[in-house]
Amino acid sequence: MSRPLTAALLLALLLGASPLAAGVVEVRIKLPVRAKIDLAGRRTVAIAPFITVGREGAGRQSESSVDVQQEFERHLTKLLRRETDLKLVESGRVDYPTYELDLLSRNRDFWRALGERLQTDLILTGSLDFDVQDKSGYRTEEYVSPYDGRTYYRQVLVEQTGFEYDIVFQVYDGRTGELLFHDNFKDFKQIEGEKADPLLGMFENLRALEDRIAGVFTQKQVEASRLLLTD
């Protein structure tokens, strides 16, 4: 093919053809997440005592002085007041027919009777498992000798405490006793120090789970990424 012809074809391709290599720009958008429970026509809520679950196992530290149930219910009350328009009804003492959550969740009569007694549209309950673990251990660390300037590896003891919070969260219809919502919220935090304050660990866990718990009752926003395409 002659040189002018090749040049003309090249020019034609450059000017006429659409660009093939697209650039990509990542952007963040905010998307709504619908509340898990429809609150239309529901105005009142009662927090029935959450059942605390204990665990035994290696690495588990002795029981802390924190009242897990009381701290959680106080936190939940605060959260509901802040995030919803629901009116909180005091549940007082509740005598559960069983402490097996599976059995309890099938006992519609019990929840309906409790709802009727408390005159509440919704009843919150579930179980709490707060676990404090000794996560101390040896880690390999690099160090440069001040004598010969060479790099060596050594074992160092790192003291850390792990805090694991496992919440089974249930919402019952106070009028029918029907289980409206059931989910498991879990969080794990690791804090430096062999004897880190369990209360601090618990609040770190609860803060991390706050949005998920609030999302049961209110519409929340989440961030998502999308790709914009350029020439």
Q: For residue 156, what are the contacts with CB-CB under 8 A and spacing of at least 6?
A: 138, 139, 141
Kindly state the smallest distance separating residue 69's Cβ from other proteins, in Å.
32
Q: Which is nearer to other proteins, 103 or 222 (CB)?
A: 222
Amino acid at 2: S
CB 157 within 8 A of CB 197: no
CB 212 within 8 A of CB 194: no
Q: What sign does the CA torsion over 69, 74, 77, 78 have?
A: negative
User: What kind and span of H or E run contains 225?
Assistant: strand 220-230
Q: Which is nearer to other proteins, 2 or 155 (CB)?
A: 2
User: Torsions phi, psi of 92, nearest 5?
Assistant: 65, -155
CB 171 within 8 A of CB 114: no
CB 108 within 8 A of CB 102: no
Q: Which is nearer to other proteins, 142 or 231 (CB)?
A: 231
Q: Which is nearer to other proteins, 2 or 140 (CB)?
A: 2
CB 226 within 8 A of CB 29: yes
Residues that bind other proteins (CB under 8 A): 2, 4-5, 8-9, 11-18, 22, 24-25, 27, 29-34, 224-231
Q: Which is nearer to other proteins, 24 or 157 (CB)?
A: 24
Kindly state the smallest distance separating residue 221's Cβ from other proteins, in Å.
11
